[in-house]
A and B are shown apart, each in its own frame.
Chain A
Amino acid sequence: MTEKNEMLAIILAGGQGTRLGKLTKSTAKPAIPFGGRYRIIDFTLSNCANSGIDTVGVVTQYQPLELNAHIGNGSSWGLDDQNGGVTVLQPFSSSEGEKFFEGTAHAIYQNIEYIDQQNPEYLLVLSGDHIYKMDYGAMLEYHKAKKASLTVGVIPVSMEEAKRFGMMNTDETDRIIEFEEKPEHPKSDKASMGIYIFNWATLRNYLTTSFTTNNSLEDFGKNVIPMYLANNESTYAYAFDGYWRDVGTIHSLWQANMEFLSPHNSLNIGDHNWRINSKAQVLPPMFLTSTSNVNNSMIVDSCYVAGEVDHSILSQRVSVGTGSRIVDSMIMPGATIGKNVVIDHALVGEEAVIGDGAEVKGTEKDIAVVGYG
């Protein structure tokens, strides 16, 4: 065993994201394109790298090929460290059976050998489907200062939104005294972000006991946090108040993309002190022809625009033919949009082909979706 790795990050990227319908038919949710040149998991991976975490395990299960190809050896995020790096963790067969997993905590248990190999003091558990910038190093400092066994990242939400989240009720020292899943009458505004720092030895103990006896600790929210509270483990809430979006539904994914378009978005994507990196690709520059008309939009390399683009995002290799009009939409990489097409309030999937004269129209309440081509 090598020297102790202070904090290991595990990104749970196994979810299918069924609420994203056609967009996740052939890809995992964290691999969904976002903001023109990113995939959702880029935010979490970049946060790890920017926080000085050099060892990251990415737990995959559902449709992992695209995610694997995207992450590669991790060099695009500077995670190809000699002594660490990023490891994609796939379910595998062992003498105890196949290591597919059910809930979030089970996913950690199934990868216990990898975690032991890294031998961390602290385990940072993240989900790969949120859009945000966060310094996990500051959260670790907090965890240590509180001498916590578990620290949960929380974000303030409105009382209305609180009904959709796991809510943390805390005392005046921010110690969590009660956890309520989707409460009808919320008692606090602190919603769990699905970000946890555990003292690994303690968690390891709980998980091993559970999965060798009654399998009671399947999920962090549903099972592990209540168990920690019941056993009086010191559990603290770490408040985060920056930009954070869960993009688990078609509408929230569209909404976050539209927010991303605003030059005043508090995510501040242009900040060079906290860069969000993505898989580096070399593509020719974008080409806007003499018939193009682009306003209020974001465009990236290798796009070809001969039509009108208004308040929309075009990802890499998207082409828009003459006479076409794209409004309030996000077009994913490689989509080909013919001539005289209207696309309004829509998410268009990767490599989709939209024939001449077609209309794809959604509304703010009901975003249209074109699946992967």
Chain B
Amino acid sequence: MKHNSVSAVINLVEPWEKLEPLTIARPVGTLPFGGRYRLLDFPLSSIANAGIQNVMIASPRSGRSVSDHIRSGNDWNLDTIRGGLFNFPYNDLSLIAPEKKDTLLHHYYDNAILFLKRSNSEYTVVMGTRNICNIDLKALLRYHKERDNRVTTVYKSVDASEVKPTNTVLQLTENGMATSVVQASKTFPSSEGKLAKDLNIYLMSTVDLVDILNEANQRGDLISLERLMKRAVIQHNANAFEYTGFYANIHDIPSYYKASMSILKEDNFRALFYSQRQIYTKVKNEIPTFFAKSSQVKGSLCGTGGYIEGKIDNSVIFRNVFINRDSLIQDSVIMQGTRIGVGTTIENAVIDKNVVIGPNLELKGTPDEPLVIGKGKRIFRQTEVTNE
């Protein structure tokens, strides 16, 4: 691949309401996942592994957590004299006051157009972050070049039973072309009971993408990039590339919880993290995790910098977590910097970053409705345990 022949746009404007309280202060893209990653790391790693060095990130709000995570982009080989990483804030139209929207009319897509024109790239891939996958973008590009349609999009073939009526899927023709992206309730599974779950990845020539954005500006569109891409699929029909690796879609708390639990299965863990394509993230210098004499850890992932005295079973423990003696963490996700008190039991729960849970408490959810404790909470009484 010629240097800089492909650029990438990561669109962080994604539905976040159903992931509250985890998404109160962060976009879906910086949601922690898998013991040491953020969702954004998966598309960024696919980009890095394909040698792409021109990347635009569209953040919904200020992008503070995004900038804090990606810094110069060095951890994804994006700190380069050629191209680099461009983070554009405030792209979430729903957060812009009606009277301010007039000023955006005919200009909402200007930043993206400028980025794409300056990239001098031939092709551009547009991705979101809520579909966790480890995709080979070079293979996607080859697939695109071998076919005639102007747009190529990506799907994973999944059992219809795993798809919610509100999830979006591709409508495929018999010869494997995508004619539209629709809600699952508006289509029918194949004879094998499969649906083509769309991965929200779109590849096209940079010139075509600039045309799409220019036309949207001229029309005075104020719709998200994602909707523009879906429209392009309907308008042009698209080549549909089938992705076959590890996949999880994060759209609400139960799906986030289920995806977290699924990587505790060893074959899933290896498929996602030990393929030929590494997953990169912000590097941190943590000390080793210490497992005390009383600790008992089974079937779990742990980050570094932790101090473990209690029992942990089938759980994802992030970095710098402190688990006191006589406690039990069962089927749960404990994020970075959280402390769990002596004798406390946590089951089917998602505990966000820097939470302090006092001693001798019980925090229990169910697999279908996990208990969630928001970032930075301090809980010292049983009455303070409420599902947010």
Contact = CB atoms under 8 A, between A and B. Distances in A.
A290 B302 contact: no
A269 B287 contact: yes
Nearest to A311: B293
B36 interface: yes
B285 A295 contact: no
B300 interface: yes
A296 B289 contact: no
A299 B289 contact: yes
Contacts of A351: none
B34 A313 contact: no
B302 A286 contact: yes
Interface stretch (A82-90, A125-133, A275-283): A275-283
Contacts of B293: 295-296
Given A275-B285, A294-B297, A285 B290 contact: no
A298 B289 contact: yes
B297 A288 contact: yes
A301 B302 CA distance: 8
B289 A287 contact: no
A278 B34 CA distance: 23
Given A281-B283, A282-B278, A285-B35, A299 B288 contact: yes
A284 B298 contact: no
Nearest to A36: B288
A143 interface: no
A269 B284 CA distance: 15
B273 A284 contact: yes
Residue picked from B288, B291, B304, most chain A C-beta under 10 Å: B288
Contacts of B300: 287-288
B114 to A, nearest CB: 30
Contacts of A278: 285
A76 B285 CA distance: 9
B132 to A, nearest CB: 14
B353 to A, nearest CB: 16
A286 B293 CA distance: 18
A295 B302 contact: no
Residue picked from A280, A281, A291, most chain B C-beta under 10 Å: A280
A242 interface: no
Nearest to A301: B304
B279 interface: yes
Given A37-B304, A292-B297, A263 B291 contact: no
A296 B291 contact: yes
Interface residues of B, number: 35
A288 B299 CA distance: 5
Contacts of A76: 285
Contacts of B296: 293
A68 interface: no
Interface string B258-299: 000000001001000110001111011101111111111111
A300 interface: yes
B361 to A, nearest CB: 25
Contacts of A284: 34-36, 269, 273-274, 279
A289 B303 contact: no
Nearest to B314: A290
A294 B291 CA distance: 7
Given A288-B297, A294-B297, A295-B293, A282 B302 contact: no
A298 B288 contact: yes
Interface string B18-46: 00000000000000001110000000000
A261 B287 CA distance: 11
B253 to A, nearest CB: 22
A297 interface: yes
B301 interface: yes
Contacts of B266: 287, 289
A289 B298 contact: yes
Contacts of B36: 284-285, 301
A313 B292 contact: no
A37 B288 contact: yes
Contacts of B294: 295
Contact of B285 (A35, A277, A292, A298): A277
A79 to B, nearest CB: 13
A244 to B, nearest CB: 19
Contacts of B326: none
B75 interface: yes
A37 B290 CA distance: 13
Given A288-B298, A288-B300, A297 B75 contact: no
A290 B301 contact: no
A286 B288 CA distance: 10
Given A284-B273, A289-B299, A296-B293, A270 B287 contact: yes
B269 A287 contact: yes
A291 B266 CA distance: 13
B299 A282 contact: no
B287 A294 contact: no
B281 A282 contact: yes
Interface in A18-59: 35-37
Given A284-B279, A285-B35, A295 B295 contact: yes
Interface in A289-348: 289-301, 309, 313
A280 B301 contact: no
A294 B295 CA distance: 7
Contact of B298 (A276, A286, A292, A313): A292
A299 B298 contact: no
B292 A295 contact: yes
B285 A286 contact: no
A286 B289 contact: yes
A40 B134 CA distance: 35
28 contacts: A76-B285, A263-B290, A269-B287, A270-B305, A275-B285, A277-B285, A280-B283, A280-B284, A280-B285, A282-B280, A284-B36, A285-B34, A285-B304, A286-B303, A286-B304, A287-B269, A289-B298, A290-B299, A292-B297, A292-B298, A294-B295, A295-B293, A295-B294, A295-B295, A297-B291, A298-B290, A298-B291, A299-B289
Given A290-B298, A298-B288, 17 more contacts: A269-B287, A277-B285, A282-B75, A282-B281, A284-B269, A284-B279, A286-B303, A287-B269, A287-B300, A287-B301, A289-B298, A291-B298, A292-B297, A292-B298, A300-B288, A309-B291, A313-B288
The 9 closest A-B pairs by CB, nearest first: A285-B35, A280-B283, A298-B288, A36-B288, A284-B273, A290-B299, A294-B291, A285-B301, A300-B288
